[in-house]
């Protein structure tokens, strides 16, 4: 898959699937699956580093997770997040950070918000760095929003998100990620732009969907309203851990061929 395939998929009404991933082991499994694309989300701060929000995500972490995932998934389209404030410190710093992600193996970067950083988005696009704009609930605004809350609920808030979507399209972004906005608003945006929308908690009318790997595999220990769990991963893995611990305790492991 390439950025051109994202646009083609929208034209042909073909839905795009995306999953987050942060390490080469899971990336290897995604690589063998039918999922179209991978997001190295700054959600790694929460899923891999135990933080409460994405705000603490470090640029160096993003580079290492991107390299690891690319090593495990050589065939997949990889989108990598620009972490907190990396696009708010000027053109040169943003370009360096985005460049590091592409050198580490990403095909494109995702940037939260449009207002106030239009020149940076445009510069990256013109530099050959495909950009997806993340709108709605932008988790890096966790402190400003007062938590992870649905956005775009009032007419005024919805109009601002629509405006950002149109600007992102005119700048040359190849796609939009719409997080936690009313389904009706996501539908309206999807129908009014020529670039594909990937939704999470934004209804079924987006051009594609993304889920956090740990959430969809039931490993997070909690379930958000909009997540579908395809596995009870936490219980299954815990069961395997407990079986191993019991075998060690009973001297049942190693045994037979495992000893030779
Ligand atoms: O960081 C992330 O995983 C994301 C998804 C929630 C879309 O941005």
The string of pLDDT tens digits covering residues 146-192 is: 988 999 999 999 999 999 999 999 999 999 999 999 999 999 999 99
pLDDT band at 123, cuts 50/70/90? Answer: very high
Q: What is the dihedral of CA 211, 44, 93, 147, to 10 degrees?
A: 70
Looking at residue 49, its pLDDT comes to 98
* Domains of the chain, residue spans: 3-229, 232-260
Share of residues in the chain with pLDDT > 90 (%): 97
Q: Which residue has the tokens 């039918």?
A: 34
Looking at residue 238, its pLDDT comes to 98
Looking at residue 155, its pLDDT comes to 98
pLDDT at 230 over 90: yes
In this structure, the strands spanning 37-40 and 197-200 are unpaired
Looking at residue 85, its pLDDT comes to 98
Beta bridge partners of 81: 110
Provide DSSP, 155-218. HHHHHHHHHHHHHHHHHT-SEEEEES--HHHHHHHHHH-SS-EEEESS-S-SSEEEE-HHHHTT
Phi, psi of 100 (to 5 degrees): -60, -40
Outline where DSSP puts E strands in the chain. 16-20, 37-40, 77-81, 108-112, 131-136, 175-179, 197-200, 208-211
pLDDT at 243 over 90: yes
Minimum-distance ligand 1 atom for the alpha carbon of 179:
7
State whether the beta carbon of 20 lies less than 6 angstroms from ligand 1: yes
State whether the beta carbon of 46 lies less than 6 angstroms from ligand 1: no
Å from CA of 245 to ligand 1 middle: 34
pLDDT band at 260, cuts 50/70/90? Answer: confident
Q: Is 179 a catalytic residue?
A: yes
pLDDT at 143 over 90: yes
pLDDT band at 117, cuts 50/70/90? Answer: very high
pLDDT band at 231, cuts 50/70/90? Answer: very high
- CA–CA separation, 94 and 101 (whole Å): 11
Residues 6+ apart with CB under 8 A from 193: 165, 166, 169, 176
Contact between residue 113 and residue 138 where contact means Cβ atoms under 8 Å apart: yes
Share of residues in the chain with pLDDT > 70 (%): 100
Q: Which of 46, 81, 133, 216 to mutate to test the pocket of ligand 1 (most atoms within 8 A of CB)?
A: 81
Looking at residue 248, its pLDDT comes to 98
Å from CA of 119 to ligand 1 middle: 23
Give the mean model confidence (pLDDT) for residues 60-88: 98
Structure tokens given for 1: 């898959």
pLDDT at 223 over 90: no
- CA–CA separation, 30 and 28 (whole Å): 6
Contact between residue 152 and residue 162 where contact means Cβ atoms under 8 Å apart: no
Q: Which residue has the tokens 């611990």?
A: 245
Looking at residue 221, its pLDDT comes to 87
pLDDT at 222 over 90: no
Fold of the 3-229 domain = TIM Barrel (3.20.20)
SS3 content of the chain, % helix, strand, coil (to 5): 45, 15, 40
Å from CA of 39 to ligand 1 middle: 7
Minimum-distance ligand 1 atom for the alpha carbon of 81:
1
Looking at residue 91, its pLDDT comes to 97
Give the mean model confidence (pLDDT) for residues 221-246: 96
pLDDT at 14 over 90: yes
């Amino acid at each position: 898959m390439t950025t051109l395939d994202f646009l083609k998929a929208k034209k042909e009404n073909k839905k795009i699937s995306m999953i987050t991933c942060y390490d080469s082991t899971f990336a290897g499994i995604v690589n063998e699956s039918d999922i179209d694309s991978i997001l190295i989300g700054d959600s790694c701060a929460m899923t891999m580093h135990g933080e409460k929000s994405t705000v603490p995500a470090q640029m160096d972490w993003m580079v290492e997770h991107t390299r690891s995932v690319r090593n495990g998934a050589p065939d997949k389209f990889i989108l990598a997040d620009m972490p907190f404030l990396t696009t708010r410190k000027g053109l040169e710093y943003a370009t360096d950070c985005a460049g590091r992600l592409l050198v580490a193996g990403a095909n494109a970067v995702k940037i939260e918000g449009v207002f106030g950083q239009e020149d940076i988005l445009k510069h990256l696009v013109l530099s050959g760095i495909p950009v997806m704009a993340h709108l709605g609930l932008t988790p890096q605004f966790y402190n400003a929003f007062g938590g992870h809350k649905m956005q775009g609920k009032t007419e005024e808030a919805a109009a601002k998100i629509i405006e950002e979507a149109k600007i992102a399209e005119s700048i040359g972004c190849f796609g939009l990620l719409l997080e936690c906005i009313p389904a009706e608003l996501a539908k309206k945006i999807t129908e009014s732009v020529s670039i594909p929308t990937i939704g999470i908690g934004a209804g079924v009318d987006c051009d594609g969907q993304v889920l956090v790997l740990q959430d969809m595999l039931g490993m997070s220990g909690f379930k958000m309203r909009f997540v579908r769990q395809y596995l009870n991963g936490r219980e299954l893995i815990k069961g395997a851990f407990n079986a191993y611990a019991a075998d060690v305790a009973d001297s049942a492991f190693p045994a037979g061929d495992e000893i030779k």
